Amino acid sequence: MALASRAAGPLAAHLGPWVRSLIDKQYVAAVVYVKSRHAAAFDRWLAALRTDLEDLSEVHLAQYQDRRRRLRRPVCVATRQQERRELVHLLRDLRELGVCSTARVATTPSDDLAADFGHHLQHQQGLASSSIERYRKVAEQFLVERFGRGAVDLSTVGAADVVGFVQRQSKRLTPPAMKCVVNGLRSFLRYAQYCGNVAPELVAAVPAVASWACTPAVPKAISAEHAQRAIDGCDATTATGLRDRAVLLLLARLGLRAREVIALRLEDCDWDRGQLLVRGKGRRECILPMPVDVGEAIASYLERGRPACKDRHLFLRSMAPVCGFLQGADGIGSIVRYALRRAKVDALHSGSHQFRHALAVRMLQGGASLPEIGEVLRHRSPQSTSIYARVDIEALRTLAVAWPGAAQ
């Protein structure tokens, strides 16, 4: 705070609140000092140039970093990189506060049309943010390949353009990734048809990706022993250990997806009824019973491990900035990987989804039917649950036909 209070340049009125926000996000004192020192030096440079704060942009950051080269003052690469990171962080926070204008990004007609398509998916179709981003990127890539940076005229797009795009993508992508490409392209062409820019026949020109529903992949489930070792390996004397144990129990006992764990909020825990509100795919909400061990683990984390924070997400990051995990990030996957490493489990797979598969396998082995498993895992289609029939080896043995001559 002392460095911020001595600032006299255009950032002087904002450095104090910015430093307090860093403290609120629970950055350690040494990190706050380094960030403040770089911000104060940048403020003095801006004052010497008499720069208007509203016009502050990445150009000023580049000019500031170039000052030592003009003065022929050597600086090591690591120091230069750190200086760049701290100033980018400062500029991003100032923009969030509305102090500086947002970054000016030059867009092309293809970018604008892809952005309009994304807004349509969000407000009219109600797709998940991850699906919207994937479909938007496919549409943008198709438009850039067809029109470049020039004007976009969808009336000139023909079936050959659609088929050619899919063929070029198939040379570098796997079949599952190609299914996403054709789904995104088909969705974009339907949007273009809705806008009256293309004929209905063009949507039918999108090729289908060959897939065989009768041969789905075998679920990659972690064994019950390894799962328990990973859970027991969490150090209950630390805040991180309490958090990781609660997360792993949610994965193992309720079969939650990683994104569902990230989306959990404090108000989703109904302690009186022993229930948990889960937000699944397609923005569907459902109420799940909270097992005793899961509830005890969450309560222990809230009482002794969760940092004081205004963020209402149930699980928070253990490092600054202390806040909820970002959707699309691999925070839950990292928790699983570190837990397996601590427990010295040499697993073939390290993702969080293996706990969900393991729950279904245990239910199947315990006599549960496939519809019951699908209800617990919140599957929309019975076909999604049918893959677990392939892991019940004992039941499949009764269906196997004896090999000719095996009885001799």
Nearest to 13 by CA among 69, 97, 89: 97
H or E segment and range at residue 335: helix 331-342
What is the CA 95 to chain-centroid distance, rounded?
23
388 is catalytic: yes
135 is catalytic: no
Which is catalytic among the residues 120, 243, 253, 353?
A: 353
C-alpha–C-alpha distance, residues 58 and 67, integer Å = 15
Give the sheet arrangement for strand 269-270, strand by strand: 269-270, 275-279, 285-289
Structure tokens at 91: 């500029």
281 is catalytic: yes
Which is catalytic among the residues 89, 179, 281, 342?
A: 281
C-alpha–C-alpha distance, residues 347 and 225, integer Å = 11
Which is catalytic among the residues 135, 191, 301, 388?
A: 388
Q: Which residues 6+ apart lie within 8 Å of 91 measured at CB? A: 56, 57, 58, 61, 100
The DSSP line for 49-70 is: HT--GGG--HHHHHHHHTHHHH
312 is catalytic: no
The 3-state DSSP class for residue 157 equals coil
Structure tokens at 158: 């023909």
Which is catalytic among the residues 257, 259, 313, 317?
A: 257
349 is catalytic: no
Which is catalytic among the residues 14, 186, 356, 357?
A: 356
257 is catalytic: yes
The set of catalytic residues is 257, 281, 353, 356, 379, 388
